[in-house]
Structure 1
Amino acid sequence: MEEWPKHYEPKEIEQKWQNTWLSKDFWDKVYKFDENSEKPVFYIDTPPPFTSGELHMGHAYWVTIADTIGRFKRLQGYNVLLPQGWDTQGLPTELKVQYKLKIPKENRDLFLQKCVEWTNDMIDKMKKAMIKLGYRPDWEQFEYKTFEHNYRVIIQKSLIDMYNKGIVKIKEGPVYWCPKCETALALSEVGYLEKEGYLVYIGFPLKEGGEIVIATTRPELIGATQAIAVHPNDERYKALVGKVAIIPLFNKEIKIIADEDVEKDFGTGAVMISTYGDPQDIRWKLKYNLPAVELIDNRGRIKGTGIIDGLKVEDARKKIIEILKEKGYVRKIEKIKHNVLSHTERSDCLSPIEFLNKKQIYIDVLPFKEKMLKEYEKMQFKPSRMSYYLQDWIRSLDWDWNISRQRIYGTPLPFWYCDNNHLIPAKEEDLPIDPTKAKPPYEKCPYCGLPLKPVTDVADVWIDSSITVLYLSGFYTDKKRFSKAFPASLRLQGTDIIRTWLFYTFFRTLVLANDVPFKQVLINGQVLGPDGTRMSKSKGNVISPLDRIDEFGADSIRMTLLDAAIGDDFPFKWETVRSKKLLLQKLWNACRLSYPFISNNIEKPENLNILDKWVLAEHKKFIEKCINAYNSYDFFIILQEIYSYFWEIIADEYLELIKYRLFQNDKSAIYTLSRILKDIIIILHPIAPHITEEIYNRLYHIKPSILLENLPNTDDIEIDPEAEKIGNNVKKLNSMIRSAKINSRLSMNTYINAKIYGNRNFIEDIKKAEDDIKKTLKIDNIEYIENSEEKVEIEKSDHGSSNHQS
């Protein structure tokens, strides 16, 4: 018989099983998605993380969720498609290569080569960390990188398909622009951040005499002012509507107009319409066909004023205020806190954005709003409240999707264009293609005969990742797989990318495949620092999932991450991980104790001991609750059940009650113990895969892996109310006797005599299990006394009359 170590040491065991799971033999038998299988397909669309090289706690959380669901669905009999991709292209990598490796962007080929090398190094680090957490997707068939040839073909083909549907266009106009990143942005990448600023009150002279005072937070844009707007119902300005004002310093005449979108109560109630200070300026410019003057360049410097040129926006703001003061135009300045539109999608940027006039590639989104608002209801959200955020985002859309990015490391947009803004796609047989290096499909524009120029911009990164469902299900490449795997069974992601990855995948799949991309959407919350706030390096509360993994083990970390309701934010604490390791040690101890008695082949006896009937009834409830919880992704309920059933009933009560019967080779006890321990480790396996695989291999080893077993079936267990009642009363008595021994300062192994008080039913129940109780609790003699109150009195056997009442 193999020696069973007393202490569960996760480091060696977890490494052993991770290596085993990665072996070709195990992949082929356990983890491989089999296209020819007749089993139903369960396809999980997992997030392709950006390749930063660091596996943070948020990654660890969804990795754990994905792996847990994948393992459970295999046990449930599904042919599981569990992929893992990498979102490889993007600005952060460019910045690392540009500033850390000192490679200039101008050397395009070398720059791209170094970006790819950096990306692959980062993937290697993250993949090793994922594996260390017990994550086992189908690396062999469904690992993908968004810069790779096959994936890029599908990206470009999907764009050409959308072009052929008439919704990809080249347009010129104002775009969200990040001066720090030097690229255009999509609406989903910007948001408002509260910042301190100044509200400057400036007097604009009126042509006919007098002045109108406006209040602005963007005085540096005064030279781009095209009109002054007031509310039509504002009595202060009714007489001025239609009059002409003079822009201070620039002496340009502008009209005063009335518009209902003006906030009467902000500042003076009179605002300058500049091109462009904010989205409202753009709406007014289009509404009134105002001219445009662009005062800010790609790098966020002022141009074309002759006064503050070359200064960055912040410096230009200070300088223009000084000049306006000197010239006598400033009426007052207030320090305020206000919302500033910023590049919020990238947490390492957060810079204010500007609006610049650019020629860009757009995908029409607005015409599909109503269809999306109807179709999204086909997807089931967990938690259900998360569907609101998608619905709200769709309703709020007022811009089409600008997919052009003025970067290098990205998927080339497969188009050429002419000066008449005709967009010409590449030929599909030439994909993937880089228009800057390839010949256009025609010598001249087929619509107007003008020369064709390559689109030099690359695609928004969400163009890359929003086709994960179509790529993996085989929409373009494998009709057989597509028929089985689409729509995906489950989309797994965090709250932070609802308006990006979720929305764009939904939109593009709806347009290209005319269906929703997935049946269910599982939205997890955020893992917070131990202080209950969002993890931040500046706050010093960042925890890496690998910091103490050798000490506590991946299984304990996984259990900690899953011990909260899906969608809720929760703090991560190592004390909680420690408590989970104690639970696993308890499981290890119970299995070690049971090891000599476990049998794989024992049949269910015709007559079960009354206490075995009781524990099997509890077992049936446990199994049913856990399977229901897995099906609804309520993993925390499974962990609660493990504590209340395994720890409190099996480990603390049942094992003690049957020890003596095990040594007597009692078939009822051996059958029951063998069955319930096997079921427990199968149920716990998806959450804690390493220790359960190890225990299964030691105790049962019927198949190469626990994942080749089936989920426990308890249909044959009949609930015996009498057995339940007796078992619960025995459990109650056990607790009373143990408390009495503790209060009498007697060890648990000390033999005692006991007086048991209680009503007739209670006493009769105890009598039916008297033999088990005496042997378990070391009782020589029991005296029963009918009484309205249930209590016990004990004395040390063969010793005096030292009494204790409980």
Structure 2
Amino acid sequence: MRSRYANWVGGLNGDWLVSRQRFFGVPIPVWYPVDADGEPDYANPLVPAEADLPVDPAANPPAGFTESQRGEPGGFVGDADIFDTWATSSLSPQIAGGWRDAAGTGTDPLFEKVFPMDVRPQGHDIIRTWLFSTVVRSHFEFGTVPWTHAAISGWILDPDRKKMSKSRGNVVTPEDLLKEHSADAVRYWAASGRLGTDAAYDTGQIKVGRRLAIKVLNASKFALSFGDVDGEPASLVTQPLDLSLLAGLRDVVVKATAGFEGWDFSRALEVTEQWFWAFCDDYLELVKDRAYGAQGDAAAASARATLRISLDVVLRLLAPILPYVTEEVWSWTHEGSVHRAAWPTVDEVPAGGDAALLTAVGSALAAVRKAKSEAKVGMRAEVPSMTLVGPDAALAHVRAAETDLRAAGKLTGSLDFAAGDEVAARDVELVS
């Protein structure tokens, strides 16, 4: 995208037209003298002093003239054109920062804090107009760029992969989508698109966002159902499965932070969402029995502390994408807004675990579920005996969290291990 801007600037070989023949807009502050024959002399424009700006030439006469001379021989006429939209929108960073007050006499202290800004989000179709004109104005007025990054998005495409536009009549307005799926779901879809690429309008993706938001609510209710954690949560985490989950979360914090700092919000969402679904689908099922106290107080405390730490961190990671549901859940246990809370760091998450452990145990649990599904029995059916096959490293991880696997899979009897290329369940005995 940078090359598109460079090519445009390098190809400029004439003046840039800034006027438009429209009614609404910022008037061009120029008048023209009218000669004795009543014709405007466009070669000798009359311009106001800078101190007199802003001026509307249709309402104010130039210096040295009276309103009665408008349009008369020996008098003046005002320029009828207005500035094009880029002439004014090119000042959007300055206006947003309070560069000049309404009277044009002062500058808001905010301006020094926000200008130049960090990023300008915009479409690639207005690089040569909005982006170019904003850079030119900032360079002219301040000798600097108006922002340090430009986040260039693509177009929204309809189901036929054509650009959505009012002229084509294929635009979908968001009101109905927001009512049907929620603002978080629509925002999730928007955040799934990568910068610089076109994004297809996809209600299926919006539905995935809604499902994710609902899952945040439900998982949070379970994680918080055990009440406050007694003591410092990080000091209570001792179980291998818990440390494994948090090892993965530490990695997510690093990657999601790098994604947002690099304006790659879709990558930040991707890594956070992957971890969250593993948290819901595997970890919560594996740890549920222990969290309720079936393995003793210390093991339960480890699970409950892990749940609280995980929830506090993942809510902040998801907050830029799902602002409403995360704000709701955050309010259950915290004062203030999640959007004003500090961004999570790896220092908040206990270290020492191996993320591969949860992956291995999750695969083992999936193998048990598959065996039950193929046998057409419920997931609560007991397994008196079973052989788990898989690579040695994966089996070692499973052994470290065997008690959690047994509880989640209802493995009530012997569990044998055998070498194999991938994790799978063999010789599964079931009691329906």
TM-score w.r.t. length of structure 2: 0.86
Tell me if structure 1 keeps the 8 A contact 2:237–2:305.
Answer: no
C-alpha distance in 1 between matches for 2:113 and 2:397: 55
- Structure 1 residues 511-543: Cα deviation after superposition (integer angstroms, max 9, x where no partner): 222222211111111111122111256765321
Tell me if structure 1 keeps the 8 A contact 2:249–2:349.
Answer: no
**Superposition map of 1:270-309 within 5 A:** none
Counterparts in 2 of 1:627 and 1:441: CA distance versus 1, 3 Å: same
**Superposition map of 1:483-494 within 5 A:** 483-494=112-123
Tell me if structure 2 keeps the 8 A contact 1:598–1:674.
Answer: no
Give the partner amino acid of 2:56.
D
Counterparts in 2 of 1:435 and 1:765: CA distance versus 1, 3 Å: closer
C-alpha displacement of 1:716 = 5.3
Correspondence for 2:63 among 414, 423, 441: 441
Is structure 2 residue 366 aligned with structure 1 residue 744? no
C-alpha distance in 2 between matches for 1:537 and 1:484: 38
- Structure 1 residues 334-391: Cα deviation after superposition (integer angstroms, max 9, x where no partner): xxxxxxxxxxxxxxxxxxxxxxxxxxxxxxxxxxxxxxxxxxxxxxxxxxxx111211
C-alpha distance in 1 between matches for 2:257 and 2:48: 51
Tell me if structure 1 keeps the 8 A contact 2:229–2:301.
Answer: no
**Superposition map of 1:12-27 within 5 A:** none
For structure 1, which segment, 781-790 or 456-465, has the greater mean C-alpha deviation from structure 2 after superposition? 781-790
Counterparts in 2 of 1:782 and 1:766: CA distance versus 1, 3 Å: farther
Task: Please state whether the residue corresponding to 2:175 is helix, strand or coil.
Answer: coil
Is structure 2 residue 58 aligned with structure 1 residue 410? no
Task: Please state whether the residue corresponding to 1:462 is helix, strand or coil.
Answer: helix
C-alpha distance in 2 between matches for 1:514 and 1:735: 61
C-alpha displacement of 1:606 = 5.0
Is structure 2 residue 248 aligned with structure 1 residue 618? yes
Tell me if structure 1 keeps the 8 A contact 2:20–2:83.
Answer: yes
- Structure 1 residues 135-190: Cα deviation after superposition (integer angstroms, max 9, x where no partner): xxxxxxxxxxxxxxxxxxxxxxxxxxxxxxxxxxxxxxxxxxxxxxxxxxxxxxxx
C-alpha distance in 1 between matches for 2:167 and 2:130: 27
Correspondence for 1:643 among 258, 269, 273: 273
C-alpha distance in 1 between matches for 2:76 and 2:109: 40
Counterparts in 2 of 1:427 and 1:580: CA distance versus 1, 3 Å: same
Correspondence for 1:729 among 342, 360, 364: 360
- Structure 2 residue aligned with 1:703: 335
Give the partner amino acid of 2:250.
K
**Superposition map of 1:663-674 within 5 A:** 663-664=292-293, 666-674=300-308
- Structure 1 residues 740-792: Cα deviation after superposition (integer angstroms, max 9, x where no partner): 11112221111111232446655544333222121111111123244456543
- Structure 1 residue aligned with 2:103: none
C-alpha displacement of 1:443 = 4.6
C-alpha distance in 2 between matches for 1:567 and 1:773: 44
Correspondence for 2:429 among 795, 799, 802: 795
Is structure 2 residue 89 aligned with structure 1 residue 465? yes
C-alpha distance in 1 between matches for 2:81 and 2:388: 85
Larger Rg: 1
C-alpha distance in 2 between matches for 1:684 and 1:597: 23
C-alpha displacement of 1:729 = 2.5
- Structure 1 residues 186-213: Cα deviation after superposition (integer angstroms, max 9, x where no partner): xxxxxxxxxxxxxxxxxxxxxxxxxxxx
Tell me if structure 1 keeps the 8 A contact 2:91–2:137.
Answer: yes
- Structure 2 residue aligned with 1:553: 182
Tell me if structure 1 keeps the 8 A contact 2:189–2:206.
Answer: yes
Is structure 2 residue 124 aligned with structure 1 residue 521? no
- Structure 2 residue aligned with 1:505: 134
- Structure 2 residue aligned with 1:693: 327
C-alpha distance in 2 between matches for 1:600 and 1:439: 74
C-alpha distance in 2 between matches for 1:765 and 1:438: 82
Is structure 2 residue 18 aligned with structure 1 residue 387? no
Tell me if structure 2 keeps the 8 A contact 1:531–1:571.
Answer: no
Tell me if structure 2 keeps the 8 A contact 1:556–1:578.
Answer: yes
Tell me if structure 1 keeps the 8 A contact 2:30–2:45.
Answer: yes
Give the partner amino acid of 2:213.
L
Counterparts in 2 of 1:452 and 1:744: CA distance versus 1, 3 Å: same
Task: Please state whether the residue corresponding to 1:401 is helix, strand or coil.
Answer: coil
C-alpha distance in 2 between matches for 1:508 and 1:643: 41
- Structure 1 residues 640-692: Cα deviation after superposition (integer angstroms, max 9, x where no partner): 22332111x20111101111122126111111101101211111111111111
More helix as a share of residues: 2
Tell me if structure 2 keeps the 8 A contact 1:763–1:784.
Answer: no
C-alpha distance in 2 between matches for 1:703 and 1:396: 55
Tell me if structure 1 keeps the 8 A contact 2:368–2:409.
Answer: yes
- Structure 2 residue aligned with 1:678: 312
C-alpha distance in 2 between matches for 1:443 and 1:668: 85
Task: Please state whether the residue corresponding to 1:547 is helix, strand or coil.
Answer: helix
Counterparts in 2 of 1:705 and 1:425: CA distance versus 1, 3 Å: same
- Structure 1 residue aligned with 2:415: 783
Counterparts in 2 of 1:593 and 1:479: CA distance versus 1, 3 Å: closer
Counterparts in 2 of 1:479 and 1:557: CA distance versus 1, 3 Å: closer
Tell me if structure 2 keeps the 8 A contact 1:757–1:791.
Answer: yes
**Superposition map of 1:418-457 within 5 A:** 418=33, 419=41, 421-443=43-65, 452-457=76-81
C-alpha distance in 2 between matches for 1:462 and 1:765: 61
Task: Please state whether the residue corresponding to 1:402 is helix, strand or coil.
Answer: coil
Is structure 2 residue 196 aligned with structure 1 residue 562? no
Tell me if structure 1 keeps the 8 A contact 2:134–2:146.
Answer: yes
Tell me if structure 2 keeps the 8 A contact 1:703–1:709.
Answer: no
Which structure is richer in relative contact order (CA contacts within 8 A, separation 6 or more)? 1
Counterparts in 2 of 1:573 and 1:463: CA distance versus 1, 3 Å: same
**Superposition map of 1:747-786 within 5 A:** 747-758=378-389, 762-786=394-418
- Structure 1 residue aligned with 2:71: none
Counterparts in 2 of 1:534 and 1:788: CA distance versus 1, 3 Å: closer
- Structure 1 residues 424-464: Cα deviation after superposition (integer angstroms, max 9, x where no partner): 322444433222322322359xxxxx755433332222222
C-alpha distance in 2 between matches for 1:578 and 1:398: 49
C-alpha displacement of 1:602 = 4.1
What is the aligned residue count? Answer: 404
Is structure 2 residue 204 aligned with structure 1 residue 589? no
- Structure 1 residues 599-640: Cα deviation after superposition (integer angstroms, max 9, x where no partner): 366412355111111101011111211111111122222332
- Structure 1 residue aligned with 2:16: 401
C-alpha distance in 1 between matches for 2:392 and 2:81: 86
- Root-mean-square deviation (Å): 2.5
Tell me if structure 2 keeps the 8 A contact 1:415–1:426.
Answer: yes
**Superposition map of 1:104-115 within 5 A:** none
- Structure 2 residue aligned with 1:535: 164
Gaps in structure 2 of 5+ consecutive residues: 34-40, 67-73, 101-105
Task: Please state whether the residue corresponding to 1:627 is helix, strand or coil.
Answer: helix
Tell me if structure 2 keeps the 8 A contact 1:605–1:667.
Answer: no
Task: Please state whether the residue corresponding to 2:249 is helix, strand or coil.
Answer: helix
Tell me if structure 2 keeps the 8 A contact 1:598–1:673.
Answer: no
C-alpha distance in 1 between matches for 2:280 and 2:82: 60
C-alpha distance in 1 between matches for 2:30 and 2:95: 21
Task: Please state whether the residue corresponding to 1:425 is helix, strand or coil.
Answer: coil
**Superposition map of 1:117-136 within 5 A:** none
- Structure 1 residue aligned with 2:70: none
